[in-house]
Structure 1
Amino acid sequence: MAFLEEATLMDPRFKVKLSTDEVWERLEAAALREMLGDEDTVPVEAQEVEEDEEYEGEEVENKPRVSALEELLAEDDKELRRSLIQQEKTAPTILENIRNELSVYRGPVLPIPTSEDPAHWWWRKKETFPILSRLSSPYLCVQASSTPSERVFSTAGNTLSKERSRLLQEKVKMLIFLNKNC
């Protein structure tokens, strides 16, 4: 039942039909799992790069050779590294990005007409919702009914009979494929 509720939320035609916070939280957790992959590890946060230590004694010989320009601009490079680290610290985390996308999708985005294809809608919105559009395909690819599979079983039942019991497996597969697609 949980998968069905999450799939309902991922379909922009029906997202307003189901709006319990619990389902939205499950969808947030699914998006987080999608972004982190199947691994149980959490990405390591950005750590400060330590200042270059002065070389003493024997280690002076192991110090890489630095050009005059690099030596002249060493302080600028350190300042650049510090500013990059600061930007990483202020950049939104994956969870914040997911929550931002969910809040925009949950709020002002209007539902689409039932005649419109939700997969196509997500394809058009992949720039606006990069995380959710990536998450949408597993939810939207599920068949809404069992009719296609029942047709295949019916075709197989019509193809195989007592009189045709000696057909090879490959031949049966080809006959079912031809009956289904022609």
Structure 2
Amino acid sequence: MIEHVPIIALSTLLDPRFKNLHFKNAQASGKAVSFLRRVISEKMQSSSSGSENDGVPRGKCDFWLYHKVLVQKDRKRSEGRQGDELSLYLKNPMTPLKSNPIETWEDMKEVFPRLYRQFRQYAVVVATSVPLERFFSEAGENTSKKST
């Protein structure tokens, strides 16, 4: 089944129009959710294992360091209260089919920053040659009409 293809499963899960609604296999859905949780967790750990001074080289004074540390602590506290981003995202209603998922994510990126980064990585554009074929077909018809 196509839902077992990791990139397609993640792309579907991160599309706010579909999320996990169309997964026929609960195991495939759970696997995609677990993978996404693991990726987000690893990204959080790797970013928090960096220096406390938020990229400011040692020996340089950062006037706003204390503020940055307080903001980071407050963010971690609020994350614990709200639950994880993925659970909140999946509980939110799906967006209409006619909505543009890229625009939707631009609106949601402040609420779900980690998922937004994953969306940017896994969102795929469905490639199709139909518009190009239509263009050449019309061009061929116009050429045929001109030559007669």
TM-score interval for Structure 1 and Structure 2 normalised by the shorter chain? 0.5 to 0.7
RCO higher in structure (CA 8 A, sep ≥6):
2
Q: Give the Cα–Cα distance (whole angstroms) in 2 for the partners of residues 23 and 44 of structure 1.
A: 28
1:143 aligns with 2:147: no
Instruction: Give 2:49's aligned residue.
Output: 43
What SS does structure 1 have at the residue aligned with 2:37? helix
Amino acid at match of 1:147: S
Deviation of 1:43 after TM superposition, in Å, equals 1.5
TM-score, with length taken from structure 2: 0.55
Structure-2 separation of matches of 1:110 and 1:14 = 10
- Check 1:33–1:111 CA distance in 2 against 1; reply closer, same or farther (3 A cut): same
Count matched residues. Answer: 107
Partner of residue 33 from structure 2, selected from 15, 24, 45: 24
Equivalent position amino acid for 2:127 in 1: S
Distance 2:30 2:51 in 1: 28
Superposed CA deviations along residues 26-55 of structure 1, whole A, max 9, x for unmatched, are 111232344466xxx971798xxxxxxxxx
Percent of aligned positions with the same letter in both sequences?
A: 24
Matched to 2:22, the amino acid is K
What whole-Å deviation, never above 9, does each CA across 1:75-111 have from its counterpart, x for those lacking one? xxxxxxxxx89x95x9738x969x610110122x001
Residue 83 of structure 2 is aligned to residue 102 of structure 1? no
Between structure 1 and structure 2, the one with the greater Rg is 1
Alignment-mate amino acid for residue 33 of structure 2: W
C-alpha distance in structure 1 between counterparts of 2:35 and 2:51, whole Å: 24
Pairs within 5 Å for 1:1-182: 1-15=5-19, 16-18=21-23, 20-35=29-44, 43=49, 92=76, 100-107=84-91, 109-140=92-123, 142-147=124-129, 151=132
- Offset at residue 129 of structure 1 (A): 0.8
RMSD: 3.8
Unaligned runs of 5+ in 1: 47-83, 156-182
Q: Structure 1 residue runs of 4+, over 4 Å off?
A: 33-37
Please report the TM-score for the alignment, with normalisation by the length of structure 1: 0.46
